[in-house]
């Protein structure tokens, strides 16, 4: 979590904590998700990386898209995460566009397209790296 916050502070608008949510959903670890998801929301709201309240909608969209994808694909492979990250990149833009008038803030389409693209490109490779380090760590203890 500390690494995610450090990476997120270097790249404005990027949500790195969503990787933890995706892995928790893949592993169906709902007990840990029950206490980590509010922590992720509080961290996102506190860091100010998104406008107030947007992180709740964002994580709800992640949960819905993941659940829909689970019905169609095997959730543990790279192709699923790549397709999910593409959809999440579009959803990132959509959530920002939807919430901008509600919060009475200006919406810069080009800036949000850039941030959404970075989010979509970052997720599959960061997911792969995180899964590989988790497997590597579990092989050492076995």
At 92-141, the pLDDT tens digits run: 999 989 888 887 888 889 998 998 999 999 999 999 998 888 777 666 54
pLDDT at site 142:
45
Cβ neighbours of residue 139 closer than 8 Å, sequence gap 6 or more: none
Q: What is the pTM of this model?
A: 0.85
Total domains in the chain come to: 1
Q: Do residues 103 and 51 make contact, with C-beta atoms less than 8 angstroms apart?
A: yes
CA proximity to 81, closest of 42, 135, 89, 118: 89
The residue segments making up the domain with residue 136 are 2-141
At 37-85, the pLDDT tens digits run: 999 888 888 776 666 778 888 899 999 999 999 988 888 888 999 999 9
At 13-38, the pLDDT tens digits run: 888 889 989 999 998 988 999 999 99
């Amino acid at each position: 979590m500390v690494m995610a916050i450090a990476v997120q502070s270097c790249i404005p608008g990027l949500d790195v904590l969503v990787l933890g949510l995706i892995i928790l959903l893949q592993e169906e670890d709902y007990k840990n998700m029950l206490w980590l998801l509010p922590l992720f929301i509080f961290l996102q709201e506190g860091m100010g990386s998104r406008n107030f309240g947007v992180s709740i909608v964002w994580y709800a969209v992640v949960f819905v898209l993941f659940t829909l994808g689970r019905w169609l694909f095997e959730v543990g492979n790279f192709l699923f995460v790549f397709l999910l990250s593409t959809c999440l990149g579009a959803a990132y833009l959509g959530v920002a566009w939807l919430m901008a008038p509600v919060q009475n803030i200006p919406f810069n389409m080009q800036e949000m397209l850039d941030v959404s693209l970075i989010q979509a490109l970052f997720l599959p490779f960061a997911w792969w790296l995180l899964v590989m380090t988790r497997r590597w760590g579990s092989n050492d203890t076995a």
